[in-house]
Amino acid sequence: MISIGKTNTLNVVKIQGADIYLDDGTSGKVLLVDKRPPACEVGDTLEVFVFVDGEGHLAATTQKPKAEVDEVAWLKVVSLNYYGAFLDWGLPKDLLVPFSEQHHEMEVGRFYLVKIFMDEKGRIAATTKIDKHLLDESVYFKEGQKVTLVIADKTDLGVKAIVNHSHWGMLYQNELFQPVKKGQKFEGYIKQIRDDLKIDVSLYESGYGKVESLTDTILARLKAKGGSMRLSDKSPPEAIYAEFGVSKKVFKQAIGALYKQQLISLDKFDGIKLVD
């Protein structure tokens, strides 16, 4: 079954002059609308994005949009008319945000966080009213699970992030060791599911596997620096992240493990040193 607004793998079933027709075996033929179609033969498969054209017919393109249906993206307004605002989403035909789907009047040249959806007529559109498409509570995620995060608005506690394009999560300020901007996309992790089923997330992996990997990195870095490094468990989180890209908690666990193995010595002034 062809998924509209998504990338599909379709078969080339007919080539008639410059026209190439695709099919998945169940949904009927779809015209490839690329002005410069790829070289292909009947029987080949192509990865294409499927959408509904202006006449209501299914069409396909090998061009990749910046986001697909059910995804959140940070997109720029390129034009306005009496239908609404139009966004650059990487395809020749710009993406419409109808006036009814705008929190406030949108402006040309500005970026907005939007959710892409299918309207009741099967047309692809976008909305800035993303709250109605996102859930606050979750029983589906597990602690430590790797997820996609899209940065949203700042709060008193930290930064709200959209988890896997479907749920709200919270990144706490005291656990952020790098600057983040609205619309940025990161790989992150589920830190915990709270008792109220709200989601806390992190940009950094936790757990023994991460610590074990970091110990090897620390030893290699110490050897490259002549056996010593002016970092310790007393160093600020920003300095630790700048050097190793991990939280202070994970760093402390790693150097603690190395200290117990008598591979390093610790000094709050001189940092860490390799033990001869």
Provide the residue ranges of all domains of the chain, joining segments of one domain with +. Answer: 7-61, 72-131, 146-202, 208-274
Task: Kindly report, residue by residue over 141-154, the tens digit of the pLDDT.
Answer: 998 899 999 999 99
**124-151 mean pLDDT:** 93
In DSSP terms, 79 is beta-bridged to: 86
- CATH class of segment(s) 146-202: mainly beta
SS3 content of the chain, % helix, strand, coil (to 5): 15, 40, 45
Cα–Cα distances (Å) from 70 to 8, 155, 165, in that order, read: 15, 25, 7
> Residue 36's pLDDT is what?
86
Average model confidence (pLDDT) for the chain?
Answer: 89
Task: Kindly report, residue by residue over 227-260, the tens digit of the pLDDT.
Answer: 888 888 888 888 888 888 777 888 888 888 888 8
Task: Kindly report, residue by residue over 164-210, the tens digit of the pLDDT.
Answer: 999 999 999 888 877 899 999 999 999 999 999 999 999 877 655 56
* Cα four-point dihedral sign 153, 157, 163, 168: negative
Same fold: 7-61 with 208-274 = no
Lowest-pLDDT range of 33-47, 67-81, 153-167 = 33-47
> Residue 216's pLDDT is what?
85
Cα–Cα distances (Å) from 136 to 93, 114, 161, in that order, read: 33, 17, 11
Domain 208-274 of CATH type 1.10.10.10: yes
The pLDDT confidence band at residue 58, using thresholds 50, 70 and 90, is confident
Q: How far apart are CA 246 and CA 239, in angstroms?
A: 10
> Residue 209's pLDDT is what?
53
* CA nearest to 183, candidates 63, 70, 49, 76: 76
Q: Tell me which CATH code domain 72-131 carries.
A: 2.40.50.140
Q: How far apart are CA 174 and CA 187, in angstroms?
A: 19
pLDDT for 81 beyond 60: yes
CATH topology of domain 7-61: OB fold (Dihydrolipoamide Acetyltransferase, E2P) (2.40.50)
* CA nearest to 50, candidates 64, 38, 37, 36: 64
- Which residues have a Cβ under 8 Å from the Cβ of 273 and sit 6 or more positions away? 222, 227, 228, 229, 264, 265, 267
